[in-house]
C-alpha cells in the first residue's frame, strides 16, 4: 500500500535581521527542504531619499551625502560626484589633486575589497581571514584619517580639488603601508583562496555567464568575474589613469566555470594587488608643490544650465551620476540620479538562486558584494 | 554497603564538578586560542579579583590581568537573563530539550576512566554505553528545533539529525576494530592493555596484545584514529561540520530561540560533548591515563594519572579549536558525500583488515 505524504514549500524570510544579508536586505526564500525554489529580494529598508535631498542642497553640501551611499568606499563616491560637477562646470583639476584623488581612491578601493572578500569568507564559515584582513583595513583607515580627518565618511574630494593637503610624511607612511600590505594579502590568500573546502563551496556555484552579466547590467569586479574585460579606468580613462601601468584581472574559471563565486572572489584579491601597483606609481609621480584649492570654485552662482552624466569605477562597479542644473542663480541641482552598481548586481539573485541550496544563496549574496546603503540610497 | 554509597556520591560530585569546570575552561580556551590565531588579545579584563570586586561592590581584591574569570562571569550574566519562551512554541518540549541534550552528555562522563582507581561507573560495556548515551542528545536537538516554532531552528535541527545519525556509522565501525583487538568493551581494560611504553598505544597497532607482529596494524590504526577524530568533530557540530548552527546561514540553528540559562546549558553541553568525544579518542587510541613512559606513570608518581588523561584530552581539544578557526564550513550535501562516499568505505576497509589480522595472524 502506498501512502502519499503531502508536502508543502516553506517560505522563509532571510532578513532584514540576519547575520549574512550584509545590511538590511530581506530575501523571501521559497524552500523545499534545503533546496531554494525561488528567491525574491525586497529592498527599501535603508532608503533615505538621497536623490530628493540633493534637490534642496548646495552642490558642495551634497558631497557628504554621497559618502553615505556606498559607505565602504566613500572616497570613490565623492570622486564620482565631483567628476560629474566638474564636467558640467568645465573645471580642469590640478595634477596634484588628481594624484591625491588616485591615491585615496585606490586606498579606499582596497579597504572596500577587504570587506568584500573578508565577509565572503565569513559567509562561507572562515572567520580568521576576515580578522587578519581587517588589521590592514585599520591601517588604511589611519592613513585616510590623517589625510581627511575622518575614518569612514571622508568628505575629502571636493569639486575642483581636495579638502586638505597632505605632507611628505603621509606619503612615506603610505609607501610603508604598500610594502606591508603585500605579504599580509598573501597570507589571507593562502589561508582561503585555494582551501579545498572553500573551493568546493564556491566553484561552480552561482554561475553568471557573460551574456547574463551584460544583460543584467553587471559592472566592476562582478562583470570581470564573468569574463568580460571592462574597466572604466582602462576603457574610458578619467583622471590620471592613462599614466599608470596596471592590469585588469578577468575571471577565467580556474576552479570551475567562468563567472562562478570563486571567480568573483579572486578578482577582488587580484584587484587589491593592482591597486597597490597604482598607488606606488602615484607616490612616485606626485609632487607636493602647488595649491590644492587652485581650481576649487568660490561659489556655484555661475553654474551653467544643462545636464551631465559622468561615470567612474568604484569598488563595486560603475557608478553613474546624472545631474540636471537649471543654471542661473540657483545653486542647487534640479535633479540628481545615481546609477548604483550594487543595485544592478543584486537584481540577478532571483535568476541564479533557483534550485540552489540555502548555503549557496549566502555564498552568492556574499560574492556579488552589495552595500545596502548604495542599493537603497 | 555504606562505603559503596559514599564512594558513589563522591564520584558523582566530582563528575558534576568536572563537567562544569571542563565547560568553563574550554570556553575560556576557545576565546584565547581563537584570539591568538587572529592576532587579537581575547578576554583580558575579567579576572577572579575583578569578578569578586564586582559582586561585593568594593575594590578589595587585586584585579585580574588575563581574563581568567570571563566564562564564569558570562555564566553569572546568563543566569540573570530573562527566560523567554516564544509564542506558539511547544512549551513542554521547549523546556525539556536542553535538559535532554545536557543529560546525554553528562551521563557519558560517568563512564570515563580517569584513572585505574577512578572510574565513576565501571561497567563492562563502557564503550557501548558512552556511544549510546551520547547519541541521545540528537533527540534533544530535534526537540529544540521543532518546539521553538522557528523555521531556522527547524532547519538546524533537521541538518543536525541527518548529520549526527550518518556520522555515528563510521564512528561505530572505526571503534569496533579496537574492540576486536582488545576483546572487551570495558574502557578500563582497554586502557590497562595500553600500559607501559607509548608504542603499546593502539594508535601504533596492537603491539601490547600480539608482540612485534602487531605493528602491521599501524597504518590502519592511524586511519581509524583520523576517521574517528573527523567524525567526532561532526558529532559535536564543530567546524568544518558546524552546519547545524552555521551562524551565517541559519542564524543560530536549533538554539536560535533559546535565551539565558537554557542557552548556556546548550553551550555547556556542546563543550561537554567535545570533551567526551576526545576522551574516547584518548582512551582508545592514545593510552588513556598512561603517560607512554613507564617512569612517569601512576606507579611512580601517585595521583598523576587523572592529570595525564585530562592533559591529553585538552591537547586534542586544542586541535579541535585550531581546526575550527582555520577551515571554512562544508555544505550540507558535501557533508553527506564525505561521510557516505569516503569515511564509511575507509572504515569498512580497516574493519576487514583488522578482521583478517585477527583471524590469520594471531
What would the pLDDT profile of A199-243 be if each residue is shown by its tens digit? Answer: 888 888 888 888 888 998 888 899 988 888 888 888 888 888 888
pLDDT at B224 exceeding the cut of 80: yes
Task: Take residue A363 and report the three cell numbers written for it.
Answer: 555564498
Distance CA B176, CA B181 (A): 9
| Backbone φ and ψ of A325, nearest 5° | -115, 140
CB contact (8 A) between residue A359 and residue B40: no
| Best A10, A11, A13, A128 residue to mutate vs chain B (most B CBs within 10 Å) | A128
Tell me the mean pLDDT in the region A34-61: 85
pLDDT at B211: 74
- Helix/strand/coil (H/E/C) assignment for every residue in chain B: CHHHHHHHHHHHHHHHHHHHHHHHHHHHHHHHHHHHHCCCCCCCCCCHHHHHHHHHCCCCCCCCCCCCCHHHHHHHHHHHCCCCCCCCCCHHHHHHHHHHHHHHHHHHHCCCCCECCECCCCCCCHHHHHHHHHCCHHHHHHHHHHHCCCHHHHHHHHHHHHHHHHHHHHHHHHHHHHHHHHCCCCHHHHHHHCCCCHHHCHHHCCHHHHHHHHHHHHHHHHHHHHHHHHHHHHHCCCCCCCHHHCCCCCCCHHHCCCCHHHHHHHHHHHHHHHHHHHHHHHHHHCCCCCCCCHHHCCCCCCCCHHHHHHHHHHHHHHHHHHHHCCCCCCCHHHHHHHHHHHHHHHHHHHHHHHHHHHHHHC
CB contact (8 A) between residue A12 and residue B152: yes
Residue among B39, B329, B333 minimizing CB distance to A125: B329
pLDDT band with cut points at 50, 70 and 90 for residue A110? very high
Rg (CA), chain A: 22
pLDDT at A194 exceeding the cut of 70: yes
Residue of chain B minimizing CA distance to A133: B38
Residue among B249, B327, B333 minimizing CB distance to A126: B327
pLDDT at A1 exceeding the cut of 70: no
Which position has the higher pLDDT, B12 or A157? A157
Please give the DSSP secondary-structure letter assigned to residue A58: -
pLDDT at A126: 84
- Which chain A residues have a beta carbon less than 8 Å from that of B331? 200-201, 357, 359-360
- Which chain A residues have a beta carbon less than 8 Å from that of B240? 125, 197
| Best A32, A122, A124, A125 residue to mutate vs chain B (most B CBs within 10 Å) | A125
Which position has the higher pLDDT, A30 or B212? A30
CB contact (8 A) between residue B39 and residue A132: yes
Mean pLDDT of chain B: 83
Which range among A333-342, B80-89, B159-168, B249-258 shows the weakest confidence by mean pLDDT? Answer: B249-258
Which range among A287-296, B101-110, B329-338 shows the weakest confidence by mean pLDDT? Answer: A287-296
- Which chain A residues have a beta carbon less than 8 Å from that of B326? 126, 128, 191
What pTM value is reported for the model? 0.84
- Which chain A residues have a beta carbon less than 8 Å from that of B249? 20, 358-359, 362
- Which chain B residues have a beta carbon less than 8 Å from that of A122? 248
| Best B158, B160, B237, B248 residue to mutate vs chain A (most A CBs within 10 Å) | B248
Angle ∠(B149,A18,B77) on CA atoms, nearest 5: 75
Nearest-neighbour CA in chain A from B325: distance (Å):
6
- Which chain B residues have a beta carbon less than 8 Å from that of A191? 326
pLDDT tens for B91-149 read 888 888 888 888 888 888 878 888 777 777 778 888 888 888 888 888 888 888 888 88
Which range among A100-114, A258-272, B196-210, B329-343 shows the weakest confidence by mean pLDDT? Answer: B196-210
CB contact (8 A) between residue B331 and residue A122: no
Distance CA B175, CA B135 (A): 15
CB contact (8 A) between residue A131 and residue B39: yes
Which range among A38-42, A265-269, B288-292 shows the weakest confidence by mean pLDDT? Answer: B288-292
What are A11's strand-pairing partners?
Answer: A30
Distance CA A64, CA A54 (A): 11
Percent of chain A with pLDDT over 70: 99
CB contact (8 A) between residue A19 and residue B251: yes
Distance CA A156, CA A148 (A): 6
Residue among B34, B158, B248 minimizing CB distance to A125: B248
Residue with cell 579549536: B321
Residue of chain B minimizing CA distance to A131: B38
Mean pLDDT of chain A: 86
**Residues of A at the B interface, defined by Cβ within 8 angstroms:** 10, 12, 18-20, 33-34, 121-128, 131-132, 135, 191-192, 195, 197-198, 200-201, 357-360, 362
CB contact (8 A) between residue B155 and residue A358: yes
pLDDT at B247: 67
Nearest-neighbour CA in chain A from B158: distance (Å):
9
pLDDT at B136: 82
- Residue B326 CB neighbours (<10 A): 16
**Residues of B at the A interface, defined by Cβ within 8 angstroms:** 34, 37-40, 151-152, 155, 158-159, 239-240, 242-243, 246-251, 325-334
CB contact (8 A) between residue A362 and residue B249: yes
Strand spans (E) along chain A: 10-14, 26-32, 35-42, 157-158, 161-162, 306-314, 317-325, 335-339
* Torsion region of B183: left, alpha or beta (phi above 0 gives left; psi -120 to 50 gives alpha): left
- Residue A139 CB neighbours (<10 A): 19
The number of angstroms, rounded, from the C-alpha of B130 to the middle of its chain's C-alpha atoms is 11
CB contact (8 A) between residue A34 and residue B332: yes
Q: Tell me the three state secondary structure of residue A302.
A: coil
Residues, chain A, total? 377
Residue among B247, B249, B330 minimizing CB distance to A197: B330
pLDDT band with cut points at 50, 70 and 90 for residue B73? confident
CB contact (8 A) between residue B151 and residue A121: no
pLDDT at A267 exceeding the cut of 70: yes
pLDDT band with cut points at 50, 70 and 90 for residue A2? low
Amino acid at each position: 500500500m502506498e501512502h502519499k505524504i503531502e508536502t508543502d514549500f516553506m517560505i522563509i524570510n532571510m532578513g532584514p535581521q540576519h547575520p549574512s544579508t550584509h545590511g538590511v536586505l530581506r530575501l523571501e526564500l521559497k524552500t523545499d527542504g534545503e533546496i531554494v525554489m525561488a528567491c525574491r529580494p525586497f529592498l527599501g529598508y535603508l532608503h533615505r531619499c538621497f536623490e530628493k535631498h540633493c534637490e534642496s542642497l548646495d552642490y558642495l553640501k551634497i558631497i557628504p551625502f554621497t559618502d553615505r551611499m556606498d559607505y565602504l568606499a566613500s572616497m570613490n563616491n565623492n570622486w564620482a560626484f565631483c567628476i560629474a560637477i566638474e564636467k558640467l562646470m568645465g573645471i580642469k583639476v590640478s595634477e596634484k589633486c588628481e594624484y591625491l584623488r588616485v591615491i585615496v581612491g585606490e586606498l579606499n578601493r582596497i579597504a572596500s575589497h577587504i570587506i568584500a572578500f573578508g565577509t565572503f569568507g565569513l559567509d562561507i564559515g572562515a572567520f580568521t581571514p576576515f580578522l587578519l584582513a581587517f588589521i590592514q583595513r585599520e591601517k588604511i583607515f589611519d592613513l585616510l584619517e590623517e589625510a581627511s580627518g575622518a575614518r569612514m565618511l571622508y568628505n575629502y574630494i571636493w569639486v575642483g580639488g581636495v579638502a586638505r593637503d597632505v605632507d611628505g610624511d603621509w606619503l612615506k607612511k603610505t609607501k610603508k603601508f604598500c610594502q606591508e600590505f603585500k605579504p599580509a594579502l598573501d597570507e589571507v590568500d593562502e589561508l582561503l583562496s585555494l582551501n579545498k573546502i572553500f573551493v568546493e563551496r564556491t566553484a561552480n556555484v552561482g554561475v553568471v555567464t557573460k551574456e547574463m552579466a551584460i544583460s543584467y547590467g553587471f559592472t566592476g569586479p562582478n562583470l570581470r568575474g564573468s569574463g568580460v574585460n571592462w574597466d572604466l579606468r582602462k576603457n574610458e580613462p578619467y583622471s590620471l589613469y592613462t599614466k599608470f601601468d596596471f592590469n585588469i584581472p578577468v575571471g577565467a574559471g580556474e576552479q570551475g566555470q567562468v563567472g562562478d563565486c570563486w571567480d568573483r572572489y579572486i578578482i577582488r584579491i587580484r584587484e587589491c594587488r593592482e591597486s597597490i601597483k597604482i598607488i606606488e606609481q602615484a607616490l612616485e609621480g606626485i609632487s607636493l608643490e602647488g595649491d590644492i584649492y587652485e581650481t576649487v570654485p568660490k561659489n556655484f552662482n555661475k553654474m551653467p544650465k544643462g545636464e551631465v552624466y559622468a561615470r567612474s569605477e568604484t569598488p563595486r562597479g560603475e557608478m553613474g551620476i546624472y545631474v540636471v542644473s537649471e543654471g542661473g542663480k540657483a545653486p542647487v541641482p534640479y535633479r540628481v540620479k545615481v546609477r548604483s552598481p550594487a543595485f544592478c548586481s543584486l537584481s540577478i539573485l532571483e535568476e541564479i538562486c533557483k534550485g540552489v541550496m540555502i548555503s549557496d544563496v549566502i555564498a552568492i549574496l556574499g560574492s556579488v558584494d552589495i552595500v545596502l546603503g548604495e542599493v537603497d540610497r | 554497603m555504606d562505603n559503596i554509597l559514599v564512594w558513589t556520591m563522591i564520584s558523582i560530585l566530582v563528575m558534576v564538578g568536572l563537567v562544569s569546570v571542563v565547560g568553563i575552561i574550554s570556553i575560556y580556551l576557545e576565546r584565547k586560542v581563537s584570539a591568538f590565531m587572529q592576532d587579537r588579545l581575547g578576554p583580558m579584563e575579567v579576572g577572579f579579583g575583578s569578578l569578586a570586586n564586582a559582586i561585593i561592590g568594593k575594590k578589595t581584591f587585586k584585579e585580574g590581568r588575563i581574563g581568567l574569570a570571563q566564562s564564569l562571569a558570562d555564566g553569572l550574566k546568563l543566569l540573570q537573563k530573562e527566560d523567554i519562551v516564544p509564542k506558539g512554541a511547544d512549551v513542554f518540549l521547549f523546556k525539556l530539550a536542553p535538559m535532554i541534550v545536557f543529560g546525554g552528555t553528562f551521563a557519558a562522563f560517568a563512564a570515563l576512566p580517569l584513572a585505574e582507581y577512578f572510574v565513576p561507573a565501571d561497567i563492562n560495556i563502557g564503550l557501548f554505553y558512552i556511544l549510546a548515551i551520547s547519541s541521545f542528545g540528537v533527540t534533544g536537538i530535534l526537540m529544540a528545533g521543532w518546539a521553538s516554532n522557528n523555521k531556522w531552528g527547524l532547519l538546524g535541527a533537521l541538518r543536525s539529525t541527518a548529520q549526527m545519525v550518518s556520522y555515528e556509522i563510521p564512528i561505530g565501525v572505526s571503534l569496533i576494530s579496537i574492540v576486536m583487538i582488545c576483546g572487551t568493551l570495558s574502557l578500563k581494560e582497554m586502557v590497562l592493555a595500553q600500559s607501559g611504553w607509548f608504542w603499546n598505544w593502539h594508535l601504533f597497532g596492537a603491539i601490547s596484545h600480539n608482540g612485534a607482529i602487531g605493528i602491521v596494524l599501524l597504518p590502519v590504526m592511524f586511519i581509524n584514529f583520523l576517521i574517528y577524530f573527523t567524525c567526532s568533530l561532526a558529532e559535536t557540530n564543530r567546524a568544518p561540520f558546524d552546519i547545524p548552527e552555521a551562524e551565517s546561514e541559519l542564524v543560530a540553528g536549533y538554539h536560535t530561540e533559546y535565551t539565558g540559562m537554557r542557552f548556556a546549558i546548550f553551550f555547556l553541553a556542546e563543550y561537554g560533548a567535545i570533551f567526551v568525544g576526545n576522551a574516547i579518542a584518548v582512551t582508545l587510541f592514545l593510552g588513556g591515563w598512561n603517560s607512554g613512559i613507564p617512569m612517569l606513570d601512576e606507579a611512580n608518581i601517585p595521583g598523576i594519572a587523572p592529570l595525564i588523561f585530562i592533559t591529553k584530552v585538552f591537547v586534542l581539544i586544542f586541535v579541535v579549536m585550531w581546526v575550527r578557526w582555520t577551515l571554512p564550513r562544508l555544505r550540507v550535501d558535501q557533508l553527506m558525500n564525505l561521510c557516505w562516499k569516503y569515511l564509511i568505505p575507509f572504515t569498512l576497509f580497516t574493519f576487514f583488515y583488522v578482521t583478517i589480522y585477527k583471524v590469520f595472524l594471531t
